[in-house]
Chains A and B, each alone.
Chain A
Amino acid sequence: EAEVAQSPRYKITEKSQAVAFWCDPISGHATLYWYRQILGQGPELLVQFQDESVVDDSQLPKDRFSAERLKGVDSTLKIQPAELGDSAMYLCASSFGRTSMNTEAFFGQGTRLTVV
């Protein structure tokens, strides 16, 4: 069964260090999303790609966060420098459709980041 792959599953990093997460969406899925889920809250969108282009990064803290999807397939989310408040679950999701809102978004298992 096709699934969204994320790595690492868990990451502990010190404050002010750089950290990166990787996501491989389901093959053929044009749209890729990165969400941040703070403990006890619902996920919030950080960035959305359609193919290799950014569609929405309005909630991405661009002073420290960056995301790329160079070939329109896998994607990397980077934080530099990490802050204590960045501790959260980072979820990647993908969907097949480009414009249809009825296509299902499939989520990966997430990367749990702890900043110490």
Chain B
Amino acid sequence: GNSVTQMEGPVTLSEEAFLTINCTYTATGYPSLFWYVQYPGEGLQLLLKATKADDKGSNKGFEATYRKETTSFHLEKGSVQVSDSAVYFCALRVGAAGNKLTFGGGTRVLVKP
């Protein structure tokens, strides 16, 4: 089946620190990969995506590269801000599975001033 594993949180950082959130996946088929962000009390917002191997998704200073050889899609940001405090979800989507999103368990990030 399809599954996503991401590092458990919480991850606590100081402002301007480097952030990495690890994400690995297993999939039957060739998935598209996504990172979603969820702010307190809110729904999910798409942060970035990659649809094929070696693609790099980027948005708002965040980046993630689709690594087929390691089945990974790690999220990185070079200098975090307090406003980046949220829960981050890695997800995959496989066409053969009806295009539904399969999510990881989420990683809470707390950035302190």
Contact of B100 (CB < 8 Å), options: A33, A106, A109: A33
Interface-located stretch among B39-47, B59-67, B73-81: B39-47
Interface-located stretch among A11-19, A43-51, A62-70, A73-81: A43-51
Contact of A42 (CB < 8 Å), options: B51, B93, B98, B106: B106
> Chain B's nearest CB lies how many Å from the CB of A48?
6
A101 at the interface (CB under 8 A from B): yes
Q: Which residues in A have their C-beta under 8 angstroms from that of B99?
A: 31, 48, 95, 97, 99-101, 103
Query: Given A56-B100, A102-B51, A104-B49: A110 and B43 within 8 A (CB)?
Result: yes
A55 at the interface (CB under 8 A from B): yes
- Which 5 residue pairs across A and B have the least CB separation, nearest first? A42-B103, A107-B43, A101-B95, A107-B44, A109-B43
10 contacts between A and B (CB under 8 A): A33-B101, A42-B4, A43-B101, A48-B100, A95-B99, A100-B99, A102-B32, A102-B51, A105-B101, A107-B36
